Amino acid sequence: MNFVIVLRKELLEQWRTFRFLIVAAVLVAFGLSSPLLAKFTPEILKTIPNMPPELASIIPAPTLADAVTQYVKNMSQFGILLALLMTMGMVAQEKERGTAALILTRPVSRGTFLLAKFTAQALTFAASLILAALGCWYYTLLLFEALPWGTFLALNGLMLLVFLVYIAVTLLCSTLARTQAATAGLSFAALILIGGIGSLPRISDYSPGRLFGWGAAMTLGSGEAAWPALWVSVGLIFAALLAAGLVFRKQEM
Amino acid sequence: MENIREYIPLLVPVIIIQLALMIAALADLIRRPRTKSAKWLWAVVIVLVNFIGPIVYFVAGREEEIEE
């Protein structure tokens, strides 16, 4: 059976299990509320009763930078969380229910099976992020001013790449583990490991998380490029998928 | 404050998304013959916990019926 047929089945599955709805809803909601939050926070602070006037006067007026920072912060937290939550069942659950064995009795290679899952998840996140970015761009235009669309697009591309790293790593965990619960534990451990290693001073330039900072700075027209982090991210995606493929090939169903 | 009131309509789409997620979760809950742990408990979680409630239900609460 070829890849396209398996991919179509996986995309249908994304819809039926509400994965697409969840990812789109959460990302779009944060895309819209990030510029709103950036705009409102100073106003809300000013309404605190008994605030000394000297303090109220030093609360800075919200800027475009606040909107972008808020967007990147929300997307990085919830995007990565969703990448883990939505991916961890993908292989493990099918093994638990026995549906994986069912599909693999048909002429589908195990590599195709995994790759179709990764591609379906990647498309889900890409489509959701496009919607979220459009929402954020429009609300930022209404509340602040127009964002430079070229660099904003690049920011979203970099964010998608980080999400793909976590999707690939969680897919590997889902392949290694027997159950969905074990996958959850394994992938949260991986998340902490990647985050922990990435926050070490010399290594941080190579960590996928660095791409968020690069993208935000680029949108605001400053900052240094972090190409090493980009190559490490691409490498991690390939390594995780390759490892998942090798493990899955040897696995008893 | 005047400033804020002017922007309240912008919150409407965010609230609609939240409601859509909640309704989809509730519709699935009603149609599903069995769930992991009590149905009424899931209904409470879905309605009361914004965003997170429906998501937790979709990830952890649904018991798949095996097809074929």
Beta bridge partner(s), residue B62: B35
Enumerate chain B positions whose Cβ falls within 8 A of a Cβ in A.
Answer: 1, 3-4, 7, 10-11, 13-14, 17-18, 20-21, 24-25, 28, 51, 54-55, 58-59, 64, 66, 68
* Contact residues on chain B for A143, CB-CB shorter than 8 A: 7, 10
Chain A, nearest residue to B9 by Cα: A36
Higher-confidence residue: A27 or B51? Answer: A27
List the single range of A43-52, A83-92, A200-209, B52-61 with lowest mean pLDDT.
A43-52
When pLDDT is averaged across residues A111-127 and rounded to a whole number, the result is 96
The packing angle between helices A227-250 and A110-143, to 10°, is 150
Among A95, A138, A132, which Cα is nearest to A117's? A95
**Taking CB atoms and an 8 Å limit, are A32 and B51 in contact across chains?**
no
Residue A102: predicted pLDDT? 83
Question: What number of residues does chain B have?
Answer: 68
HSE (CB half, 13 Å, CA atoms) of A151? 17
Kindly tell me the burial class for residue A14, based on how many C-beta atoms sit within 10 Å of its own C-beta (0-12, 13-18, 19 or more): buried
What is the number of CB-based contacts under 8 A between chain A and chain B?
56
CA distance linking residue A54 with residue A49, whole number of Å: 14
Phi-psi region of A2 (alpha: psi -120 to 50; beta: other; left: phi over 0): beta
Per-residue pLDDT at A1 exceeds 70: no
B21 and A22: CB-CB below 8 Å?
yes
What single-letter DSSP state applies at residue B61? I
Range scoring the smallest mean pLDDT among A28-32, A45-49, A206-210: A45-49
The Cα-based distances of A76 to A138, A162, A235 in angstroms read 20, 9, 20
Chain A nearest CA to B38, separation (Å): 20
Q: Give the three-state DSSP class for A94.
A: helix
Contact B18, A147 (CB under 8 A): no
User: Tens digit of pLDDT for each residue in A189-225?
Assistant: 999 999 888 888 888 889 999 999 999 999 998 878 8
What residue segments make up the domains of chain B, in order of their start? 2-61
Q: In whole angstroms, what is the distance from residue A194 CA to residue A249 CA? A: 26
> Smallest CA–CA separation between A17 and chain B, in Å?
8
Under an 8 A CB cutoff, do A33 and B51 touch? Answer: no
Residues in chain A: 253
pLDDT at site B36: 76
A48 vs A76, more confident: A76
Mean pLDDT to the nearest integer, A134-147? 95
Distance CA A23, CA A129 (A): 9
Answer yes or no: is pLDDT of B66 > 70: no
Q: How far is B64 from chain A (nearest CA, A)?
A: 9
Higher pLDDT: A53 or A164? It is A164
pLDDT tens, position by position, B31-44: 988 877 788 999 99
Which pLDDT score is estimated for B68?
Answer: 39
Quick check: A13 and A94 in contact, CB under 8 A?
no
User: Does residue B65 surpass a pLDDT of 70?
Assistant: no
pLDDT digit string, tens, across residues A150-169: 999 999 999 999 999 999 99
What lies within 8 Å, CB to CB, of A64 at 6+ separation is A140, A144, A145, A147, A220
pLDDT above 90 covers a percentage of chain A that reads: 71
Q: How many CB atoms lie within 10 A of CB A182?
A: 15
- Give B52's contacts in chain A (Cβ within 8 Å): none
> Which pair of tokens denotes residue A4?
């396209």
What is the C-alpha to C-alpha distance for residues A32 and A136, in angstroms, rounded to an integer? 5
Q: Which residues of A touch B1 (CB under 8 A)?
A: 43, 47
Higher-pLDDT residue of A217, A49: A217
Residue located via tokens 């660095």? A210
